[in-house]
Amino acid sequence: QVQLVESGGGLVQAGGSLRLSCAASGGTFSNYAMGWFRQAPGKEREFVATISQSGGSTAYADSVKGRFTISRDNAKNTVYLQMNSLKPEDTSVYYCAATRRGLIPAQRMRISMYDYWGQGTQVTVSS
């Protein structure tokens, strides 16, 4: 069993940056691949980024490639999402998720592959 707690969300102007953190507890963090997803009002939850257990493999949604970077620090049981060049369309609640499944990067983009989810943190980007 793993508990995930996101932090770092807030209000930022377009073009600005934020770094989200997701702290994990209750499990062996290095056993879990991690993902970031987001959900805007009236929209379905969508994939943002994922990282393998070791941090050696990452994948991103086309909408955030070149702007967002996912990373992890297994010693701190924490995964990060560095968000640069933010756009108003990035405004969403951002969720951290974890899975112990052995997945290739394409599979790690799927919501259904994740077993544990955080409570979400709000990111608002003003124009």
Work out whether the CA dihedral 52, 57, 61, 63 comes out positive or negative. positive
pLDDT of residue 31 exceeding 90, the answer is: yes
Q: What CA dihedral angle connects 95, 100, 101 and 105, to 10 degrees?
A: 50
pLDDT digit string, tens, across residues 2-27: 999 999 999 999 999 999 999 999 98
In this predicted structure, what is the pLDDT of residue 106?
87
**pLDDT value of residue 87:** 98
The b/e string for 9-38 (b: 16+ C-beta within 10 A; e otherwise) is beebeeeeebebbbbbeebebeebbbbbbb
Q: Mean pLDDT over all residues of the chain?
A: 96
pLDDT at 49: 97
Report the pLDDT value the prediction gives residue 50, as an integer from 0 to 100: 96
Q: Which residues contact 41 (CB under 8 A, 6 or more apart)?
A: none
Q: For 54-108, what is each residue's pLDDT tens digit?
A: 999 999 999 999 999 999 999 999 999 999 999 999 999 999 999 999 888 889 9
Mean pLDDT over 20-45 rounds to 96
